[in-house]
Amino acid sequence: MKFFIDTANLSQIKEAQAMGILDGVTTNPSLMAKEGIKGEANILKHYVDICGLVTGDVSAEVLSTDFDGIVREGEALAKLHKQIVVKVPMIKEGVKAIKYFSNKGIKTNCTLVFSAGQALLAAKAGATYVSPFIGRLDDVSTDGFILIEDIRTIYDTYGYKTQILAASIRHPMHIVNCAKLGADVATCPLSAIMALLNHPLTDTGLAKFLEDAKK
Ligand code: E4P
């Protein structure tokens, strides 16, 4: 399973990249705002800066909700850097735009996906990635893992090449369960990636080895 980091914070991206386990980055307008990145020119520059830190795909989200606007924004984003993936919301105009981008060879990430039916539409339109939001489903007492399982079954049954990018990951067990269920990618906050490292038996075992090595 590929690991993407879900942030627009450059130092967190550098930290994950330095571990050697990073395959890409996802951002969204809320994450950009959190870093205080404002204004079109600054936002575009920030995407280019992120591309300079990693070797994999970097999702950059459009703000338009009509077909022409999504296409205009998406084409401008795609021209910024070859690593840019145009992130498009799961709405009717978005599906049309994903099909358009797919015909032009522009990579897309269909975002805000909460049902298997939406994921089926994204794949039919030729999305490169589909982003089911696990944590936000948890927030409304719905099992996001069943969604990952259903999408995997549908995509495997029909041979869709769209990659399942598990998103809205909040903690390490989200990552582990998505891996067990066959998600192609998990996009995670740095905290969830780092939490995968932790086990008390590792800590006590290492302390004992280091102590014994002095004897
Ligand atoms: C996905 O690409 C989104 O940026 C993200 O995973 C949303 O996560 P959240 O529900 O924690 O905001």
All structural domains of the chain with their residue ranges: 2-214
For a substitution probing ligand 1, which of 3, 4, 28 has the most ligand atoms within 8 Å of its CB? 28
CB of 165 closer than 8 Å to CB of 128? no
Provide CB contacts within 8 A for 128, sequence distance 6+: 57, 85, 102, 107, 108, 109, 162, 163
Per-residue pLDDT at 151: 98
Per-residue pLDDT at 13: 98
Angle, in degrees to the nearest 10, between helices 10-19 and 40-53: 10
Tens digits of residue pLDDT in 3-15: 999 999 999 999 9
Per-residue pLDDT at 215: 95
CB of 85 closer than 8 Å to CB of 57? yes
For a substitution probing ligand 1, which of 168, 171, 185, 187 has the most ligand atoms within 8 Å of its CB? 168
Per-residue pLDDT at 134: 97
- Residue 38 buriedness (CB in 10 A; 0-12 / 13-18 / 19+): exposed
Cα-to-centroid distance, 169 and ligand 1 (Å): 7
Cα–Cα distance, 88 to 74 (Å, whole number): 8
Beta carbon of 4 within 6 Å of any ligand 1 atom:
no
Cα-to-centroid distance, 26 and ligand 1 (Å): 8
The matching CATH number, chosen from 3.40.640.10, 3.20.20.70, 3.40.50.300, 3.30.420.40, for 2-214 is: 3.20.20.70
Cα–Cα distance, 124 to 168 (Å, whole number): 23
CB of 7 closer than 8 Å to CB of 24? no
**Tokens at residue 15, please?**
């930290």
* Residues in the chain where the model's pLDDT stays below 50: none
Per-residue pLDDT at 211: 98
Catalytic residue among 38, 79, 87, 161: 87
Per-residue pLDDT at 157: 98
